[in-house]
Structure 1
Amino acid sequence: MKRNLIIGLLALSLNVAFAQEQQQADTSWKKIYRSTPEKTHALVNTKLEASFDIPNAQLKGNAWLTLKPYFYPSNTLVLDAKGMEIKEVAIQKGTARTKLKYEYDGLLLKVTLDKTYKGGEAYTVYINYVAKPNDFKTEGSVAITDAKGLYFINPKGEEKDKPTQFWTQGETEATSVWCPTIDKTNQKTTQDFYLTVPAKWVTLSNGKLMSQKPNSNGTRTDYWKMDQPNSPYLFFMGAGDFAMVKESWRGKEVSYYVDKEYASVAKKIFGNTPEMMTYFSKITGVDYPWVKYAQMVGRDYVSGAMENTTATLHQESAQQDARELVDGNRWEGTIAHELFHHWFGDYVTSESWSNLTLNESFADYSEYLWDEYKFSKDKADATHYSAMQGYLGSGSESKHLVRYYYRDKEDMFDAVSYSKGGRILHMLRNYVGDSAFFKSINLYLTTNKYKSAEAHQLRIAFEEITGRDLNWFFNQWYFGAGHPVLDITYSYDESGKKVNVIVKQTQKDKLFQLPVAIDIYNGSNKTREQVWVKNAVDTFSFAVSSKPDLVNFDGDKVLLAVKKENKTLDEYIHQYKYAGLYLDRREAIDFISKKQDDAKAVAFMKEAINDKYSGLRNFAIGKLDAKKTAIVDVTETSLEAIAKKDPSRIVRSAAVTFLGNLKKPAYKTLFTSLVNDSSYTLSAAALTALEKLDPPAALTEAKRLSKQPMKGNLLEAVANTLIKSGDENSFDEITKAYSSMGLSQAKFNLTATYANMLGTIKNTEKVKRGIDEMVKFRDAIPEQYGLGPVFENFLKTIIGKKETLKKAGEDVNALQEQIDYIKSKMK
């Protein structure tokens, strides 16, 4: 699963605080060891006949579960079956069916079998039931948000512009809300799913579509067969009036299920999938092991994406129109992430939630691997840096990577299992080398295929390939917590012709062993020294002929650590020019940008805004101080050229933003022309810059743009311009665009602007309509995100603006009606 980062760091900070409050209130979980689930019975095959009462959001099911006692004889079977109406339980032998006694408490179905079965002796249990997912209430998490398993979207067709569809979300243990099973990661079963849906719909499930049978009542039954074993949390059913776009990979179907309006761009969004399959097959040494690969975009899915075997589900943020894709495919990393899960997670599965990182760290790291292969090492290193900062900013220093103590299994879906785990794999790859790294993961995959595994099995695979004992690495990073915090001091001893590197570990409670490369530069010449940091203070001395231009600790920039260094401005300039990795250059830009009163720094920034990598050009431009005359004098000409012709629209947008802050009339023609650019981002930046320079001209453009389809940054820029003008005439267009946006970060970003607009709108019916749209969005965001208070503040802000208008003598009765309506919508 790729967690959706909706509401970004705000949600993270709110939920971290909420989780901390919970844990302070109840810490009993710290004494509960989360063992691997015991296998009393083993699933062999799951056959399901499912029909759907869509308006009432129910599934009518007939399930045949073939099982066998795992080792010891047994006459009792316990299944997970949550919130169901159980109608019949029987033993099935051929065509004969004999009813069995059972007990059911709403969560577990305890069945007394017809006899005692020996270990390995197969039998089939039949269950007739009704699944009622909307009636089942349980706690979810920030990543998964609830656990009702089966989701009916707009089931009664009451939402005019939203399709009716359904899809499932099994992770962690929610498949058992719609299909009786043993809902544990260390179970593996084949499947035969028969799904009866409206005839006009298409369906998707695990495995291969074997047949489609029209029925006399306007429905159709699709038979999906999965003859390779996979875990119950990876079961999937999805259906709706989708457009299906097909490709192939080595004779296997590759397909994309999208809303019909996105059919024309589906290949632009997902079209790198076949190449990803080839690349991941090559580096793992295991050809994509499943019979097909499909990807579906589900409405109202808020968990990012989920790697259901052969049938990945994406949230609707994946669907980008052609203008959005001009700025690049923001979903590319998620597509890679979910595909790589089909090796790490689906093919070999974490045997317990404690070992979740075996799934998620590899999927997280696949984003780096794909960027490195397809785009550039700079882009990959930018991905690495972003993920590392996500972990370092999460406040997770006390959490082990493999965690046998946790409050709830849902808590495992965090920055430790994902981002930290991916960074640890990056360090391991650097330590053992590329050849050994990929041979080791091949051994891990082939040894444990179609099975479940724990972290020790990964360690053993690496040890067998490398011949090295890696307990120190796994004990430190997998079965330990935290990260090093390093204070690194460089000095030169003129008399002894030595350079000294002193490394202090300042984190509490634990010392790390760190194999590190230290690079010593004289001009462009580099000498590399390999050292081990092991102690609270380590001093490394190296003989040199003269004072080096630069000593660069962690020359490969792979350490998961917080570093403080005493490098000078000149040394950072040398690092930028000669060390050359993304992080070398980023560190230099970050440090030098704080010295923009220095002539050397000014000259450097002119060079940095022309960096070879677009991400660093964008970063450097964002660091420029437009209030400093020297910076403007040195960079303005370059920035104008960048704004006109840089290959990246994102970088051009940053340049336009800087030029807009200068408020020079000479740029009006440029801004006006770029308002019509195909990139939403560049168009938005140009409109905002024009508004600072010539508000009436910007208002004219905003009114024109409001009549056209628009998203994201452009929608926000248009709304801001209209709000500042006080013009209400474009309310309908802005509200329609706001309403059409899915559950996304972009919509949340726009909400503050939209709330400001509602604060200025005078028409009461428009205010009510706008408040309804905000509240609808608020209520669609699961409570686990902790954003209720944020929306309350938005509503209070609107009330405050209305109260101010009342005091100014505006229409008091109308304003009071608006205030009362807003208050009625507050929680």
Structure 2
Amino acid sequence: MRSDGLRLDHRPFALPGTRAQYGPDRSVDVLHVDLELHPDLQRRRLDGICTTRVEAIAGTVDAVVLDAVDLQISGVRDEHGAALEFSQREQRLRVAFARPLARGERYEFSVAYAVEQPRRGLYFIAPETAYPERPLQAWTQSQDTDARHWFPCVDYPGERFTFSTTIVVPKGLFAYSNGRLISRLDEGEQSVFRYELEYPLSSYLTSLVVGEFAAHHDRCGEVPVSWYVEPARAEDGERSFGKTAQMMDVFQRRIGVPYPFPLYGQIAVHDFTFGGMENSSATTQTDRTLHDQRAHADFSSDPLVAHELAHQWFGDLLTCRDWSQAWLNESFATFFEAVFREADLGWDEYLYDVLGMVKSYVREDSERYRRPIVCNLYREPIDLFDRHLYEKGGAVLHMLRGELGEEVFWRSINRYVSDNQWQSVETLDLVRAVEHASGRNLRWFTDQWIERGGHPDLSLSYAYDDAQQLLKLRVKQKQAIDAEHPPYRFTLEIGLLAERPAAPARDHGTAPLSGERRLRVQIDEAEHLFALPVSGEPALVRIDPGNFVLKTLALEAPPEVLAAILRADPDPVSRIRAAKALAADGSRVAVEALRAALLEDPFWGVQAEVADALGETRAPWALEALSAATGVPHPKARRAVAAALGNWRSVRAAEALLPLAGEDASYFVMAAALEALGKTRDGRAFELLVRQLQYPSWAQVVACGALRGLAELADERAVSAILDSMVYGRPEPLRRAALGAAGRAAALLERQRTRILDALTAQADDARQFLVQLACIAALEAIGDVRALPVLARLEGGEDPRVRRPAAEAAIKIQEGSRKPVELARLRDDLDALKEENRRLRERIEELARR
């Protein structure tokens, strides 16, 4: 579904039957939780005693209700050892106090329990026939409401308590949890670890990890910084986590509030369900982020590490009051990924990271659904953890930085964090902090960007009027506008230069260039025409330096103007925008400017976007430009060149790709080249693609590229190799790539569709590898065959909330696709054929013109 100015039919976020969600009533305040834990990794069992201290909020409190899923409760006692009555019903544990509590009265009780084969929350990892190299580990993942699967608790982010753990494990294993390691004692064949955290956390931030790990220790000032990895991965751990102390220093200086806990640790575990989890003082990371030296050339763990570290302030020190306010956790952590990138790599990298946020959000907004960032219409909290919550919110914070200005923005962030330490927060707390720090009332800002879905879709043009010495700037909001969807309100900054710089400066930042005049125009209507007085025709017009406004923008300008931007504007996003417009223009001026930028632009991000724009043209001159750029030095730019070459089914494109697909210093360049080679449908591709399935690379990057290439080849011989790579026992990244390839192959190979669909439906219920199951659902959606609906319905009604929404969305899209008239499909086929015929005709005309 495309997003344009004529539609109001974005698919709704709320699925059928969704109800508004609100936080629970609270009769008690949980003050402290102490866990005594005995994990049995072989039996996949946890025995525990959970001691909870509460304080009555309301008067005459005679019981407390805790969340407890599949926990076998053997008894409950008060602090004196007296047995208390309890009952279990509907995944809740009700504990009756010995007597009613008066308001403010405290009470302590202990629950003895066990859990075997927990469904979620606590995960046991062990070697097996299919994966004999797996380590023996146990770890928890409690977000969003899965702590209840491994200890009885008030499993809600607004409830915060101090926390301590005693963990008893076989000697030789290491146990890890939140806070300081107070003691480690060996008692016979067992080791006993005691951890204490004197600062409050929420249940979803609690942690338990057990396994064999090697430790590395660092410091940021007085704060100990550690990370733990499997002993054989020590060097990979240094590559992945080595900048942690630097990040902590950057964040402390930017926020103006010290790191809140007495220490910080990260532990990399096997088969982790997500990238990382910001457990207070003790982050759990996926071991998928550990990488070798060759991968390090164009892969970094820094975004993941920075994200989880930022959560120690935004999520742990300040915790969202309820899940509808989760942007105060996730959007801030996403934004601070970019903040560290700016400090470490420069302003251009920061801006390009923010552009990536915008693109990711816009893709979800146009292809999946539209929703406000703050939203309490959801079935499960996990449904909210999407590109709106992460990337759109991060881009909104970048916009707030531009709206307030550098000094006021950071002063406001400091006030927000300082005023709300160890508290539950909602958006209004941020608004109040900005008001206190700046005097500005930004309630309109949060109403528009946080409480409302969507974004402005702009077209912008300008022309110089020599007679009146005016620059006439027209700005139009193209998105649908009506009483319920008023025009967006924002400030757009314009920069005017009488002389154009000779070349774009790297990492220039937001300051005006020498001789640049800055103007700010207020946008609040569907269309504006501004007449800006100038002393002569500007040599360079800069639109929104810093790309602060969250928007999509079509810049309507002659190719000479666009070429000037591409050659001179220090803002990489402006250059990228100009490059996209030039590629659509295709004039001689455009061709020359794009060729030069592809090879010479000082920032790899611009080179990569130019390559992408050239690929989309599918023009002969673009193919020649890309073929000449396969040796660009930066691997990320080279990767983009390889990917763009996949837009041509030609011998020339294949010849440019074959060397990169065979060997390159970068795994990722090879993977991109292999996929693109498959798209060329070249006769030499099949054998190379099959051979590269065996190429050894970190995270199977090269083999995954080969699988995608085999799918694109539309060769029935490839199906067996794809299906063989899907089976349980293959490396998890390879299985996920194979499932994606299977979905694509089924779309291209009609005769193989039933075979592929049968293979996918047969394994869709297999939940042993969560990310693989999600990839299977995505593949079924890509095929779009109604025969997948029964298995998707089964998954939607299943017990795992992480799977239910993806299955529901896939089913909805398949059903929508099945309702499209056959005539419409035929018309689209005819249109595609006509477009292809026109493209070939244009290529022949261009070839004749060059002669």
What TM-score comes out, normalization by structure 2 length? 0.78
Change (3 A) 1:516 1:738: farther
Partner residue in 1 for 2:277: 306
Cα pair 2:11 2:370 within 8 Å, conserved: no
Which stretch of the first structure deviates more once superposed, 779-788 or 39-48? 779-788
Partner residue in 1 for 2:503: none
* SS state at 1:134 partner: coil
Cα pair 2:736 2:775 within 8 Å, conserved: no
Cα pair 2:667 2:697 within 8 Å, conserved: no
Instruction: Confirm whether residue 99 of structure 1 aligns to residue 83 of structure 2.
Output: yes
Which residues of 2 match residues 216-255 of structure 1 at below 5 A?
A: 216=188, 218-255=189-226
Partner residue in 2 for 1:196: 168
After TM superposition, give the deviation of residue 528 of structure 1 in Å: 1.6
After TM superposition, give the deviation of residue 350 of structure 1 in Å: 0.8
Aligned partner of 1:533 among 517, 520, 523: 523
Cα pair 2:722 2:742 within 8 Å, conserved: no
Partner residue in 1 for 2:776: 787
Partner residue in 2 for 1:440: 412
Partners of 1:22 and 1:628 in 2: CA distance: 42
For residues 318-340 of structure 1, give each alpha carbon's deviation from its aligned partner in whole angstroms, at most 9, with x where no partner exists. Answer: 122332222231x3212111110
Partners of 2:692 and 2:432 in 1: CA distance: 64
Which residues of 2 match residues 125-136 of structure 1 at below 5 A?
A: 125-132=109-116, 134=118
After TM superposition, give the deviation of residue 454 of structure 1 in Å: 1.3
Cα pair 2:693 2:704 within 8 Å, conserved: no
Instruction: Confirm whether residue 111 of structure 1 aligns to residue 95 of structure 2.
Output: yes
Change (3 A) 1:250 1:280: same
Partners of 1:482 and 1:40 in 2: CA distance: 39
Cα pair 1:355 1:402 within 8 Å, conserved: yes
Which stretch of the first structure deviates more once superposed, 187-196 or 701-710? 701-710
Instruction: Confirm whether residue 567 of structure 1 aligns to residue 543 of structure 2.
Output: no
Aligned partner of 1:681 among 664, 668, 672: 668
For residues 505-564 of structure 1, give each alpha carbon's deviation from its aligned partner in whole angstroms, at most 9, with x where no partner exists. Answer: 343322322122122343325322112112233332212233444544433311112233
Cα pair 2:67 2:93 within 8 Å, conserved: yes
Cα pair 1:484 1:507 within 8 Å, conserved: no
Change (3 A) 1:318 1:169: same
Identity in percent:
25
After TM superposition, give the deviation of residue 296 of structure 1 in Å: 2.3
Which residues of 2 match residues 760-771 of structure 1 at below 5 A?
A: none
Partner residue in 2 for 1:813: none
Partner residue in 1 for 2:592: 603
Counterpart AA for 1:519: G
For residues 144-195 of structure 1, give each alpha carbon's deviation from its aligned partner in whole angstroms, at most 9, with x where no partner exists. Answer: xxxx211122387874222221111111121122111222212221112011
> How many residue pairs get matched?
751
After TM superposition, give the deviation of residue 251 of structure 1 in Å: 4.0
Partners of 1:493 and 1:41 in 2: CA distance: 70
Partner residue in 1 for 2:32: 45
Change (3 A) 1:419 1:733: closer
Which residues of 2 match residues 465-476 of structure 1 at below 5 A?
A: 465-476=437-448
Cα pair 1:79 1:108 within 8 Å, conserved: yes
Partner residue in 2 for 1:810: none
After TM superposition, give the deviation of residue 787 of structure 1 in Å: 3.3
Which residues of 2 match residues 728-807 of structure 1 at below 5 A?
A: 739-742=730-733, 746=737, 748-749=739-740, 780-781=769-770, 785=774, 787-788=776-777, 790=779
* SS state at 2:355 partner: helix
* SS state at 1:325 partner: helix
Partners of 2:643 and 2:395 in 1: CA distance: 34
Partner residue in 1 for 2:65: 78
Change (3 A) 1:424 1:539: same
Instruction: Confirm whether residue 649 of structure 1 aligns to residue 639 of structure 2.
Output: no
Partners of 1:415 and 1:697 in 2: CA distance: 36
Instruction: Confirm whether residue 369 of structure 1 aligns to residue 369 of structure 2.
Output: no
Change (3 A) 1:279 1:795: same
Cα pair 2:671 2:706 within 8 Å, conserved: yes
Counterpart AA for 1:26: G
Partners of 1:276 and 1:297 in 2: CA distance: 18
After TM superposition, give the deviation of residue 394 of structure 1 in Å: 1.8
Aligned partner of 2:268 among 280, 288, 297: 297
Which residues of 2 match residues 490-529 of structure 1 at below 5 A?
A: 490-505=462-477, 506-508=479-481, 509-524=485-500, 525-529=515-519
Aligned partner of 2:545 among 545, 551, 555: 555
* SS state at 1:381 partner: helix
Instruction: Confirm whether residue 284 of structure 1 aligns to residue 227 of structure 2.
Output: no
- Extract unaligned runs of 5+ from structure 1: 1-8, 10-16, 136-147, 762-766, 797-827
Counterpart AA for 1:349: T
After TM superposition, give the deviation of residue 675 of structure 1 in Å: 4.1
After TM superposition, give the deviation of residue 431 of structure 1 in Å: 1.2
Instruction: Confirm whether residue 26 of structure 1 aligns to residue 12 of structure 2.
Output: no
For residues 764-796 of structure 1, give each alpha carbon's deviation from its aligned partner in whole angstroms, at most 9, with x where no partner exists. Answer: xxx9xx999987988634698483472598899
After TM superposition, give the deviation of residue 464 of structure 1 in Å: 0.7
Cα pair 2:623 2:653 within 8 Å, conserved: no
Cα pair 2:265 2:281 within 8 Å, conserved: yes
Change (3 A) 1:98 1:434: same
Partner residue in 2 for 1:387: 357
* SS state at 2:166 partner: strand
* SS state at 1:171 partner: coil
Which stretch of the first structure deviates more once superposed, 574-583 or 363-372? 574-583
Partners of 1:317 and 1:534 in 2: CA distance: 46
Partners of 1:588 and 1:529 in 2: CA distance: 21
Which stretch of the first structure deviates more once superposed, 671-680 or 478-487? 671-680
Q: RCO (CA 8 Å, sep 6+): is it higher in 1 or 2? A: 1
Cα pair 1:690 1:698 within 8 Å, conserved: no
* SS state at 2:118 partner: helix
After TM superposition, give the deviation of residue 684 of structure 1 in Å: 4.8
Partners of 1:784 and 1:652 in 2: CA distance: 32
Aligned partner of 1:124 among 97, 108, 123: 108
Cα pair 1:52 1:197 within 8 Å, conserved: yes
* SS state at 2:480 partner: coil
Counterpart AA for 2:731: S
Cα pair 1:716 1:753 within 8 Å, conserved: no
Which residues of 2 match residues 610-621 of structure 1 at below 5 A?
A: 610-621=600-611
Partners of 2:692 and 2:95 in 1: CA distance: 67
Cα pair 2:727 2:735 within 8 Å, conserved: no
Instruction: Confirm whether residue 65 of structure 1 aligns to residue 52 of structure 2.
Output: yes
After TM superposition, give the deviation of residue 78 of structure 1 in Å: 1.9
Change (3 A) 1:46 1:303: same
Change (3 A) 1:772 1:318: farther
- Extract unaligned runs of 5+ from structure 2: 2-8, 501-514, 786-851
After TM superposition, give the deviation of residue 580 of structure 1 in Å: 2.5
Partner residue in 1 for 2:123: 151
Partners of 1:42 and 1:288 in 2: CA distance: 26
* SS state at 1:77 partner: strand
Partner residue in 2 for 1:801: none
Partner residue in 1 for 2:234: 263
Partner residue in 1 for 2:295: 324
For residues 686-711 of structure 1, give each alpha carbon's deviation from its aligned partner in whole angstroms, at most 9, with x where no partner exists. Answer: 77899989988995897599375565
After TM superposition, give the deviation of residue 362 of structure 1 in Å: 0.4
Instruction: Confirm whether residue 177 of structure 1 aligns to residue 166 of structure 2.
Output: no
Aligned partner of 2:390 among 418, 425, 448: 418
Change (3 A) 1:748 1:318: farther
Counterpart AA for 2:612: G
CA root-mean-square deviation: 4.2
* SS state at 2:142 partner: coil
Instruction: Confirm whether residue 89 of structure 1 aligns to residue 76 of structure 2.
Output: yes
Change (3 A) 1:747 1:558: farther
After TM superposition, give the deviation of residue 19 of structure 1 in Å: 8.9
After TM superposition, give the deviation of residue 663 of structure 1 in Å: 5.1
Counterpart AA for 2:454: G
For residues 334-385 of structure 1, give each alpha carbon's deviation from its aligned partner in whole angstroms, at most 9, with x where no partner exists. Answer: 2111110000000111111121111111011012111111112222212111
After TM superposition, give the deviation of residue 629 of structure 1 in Å: 5.3
Counterpart AA for 1:63: C
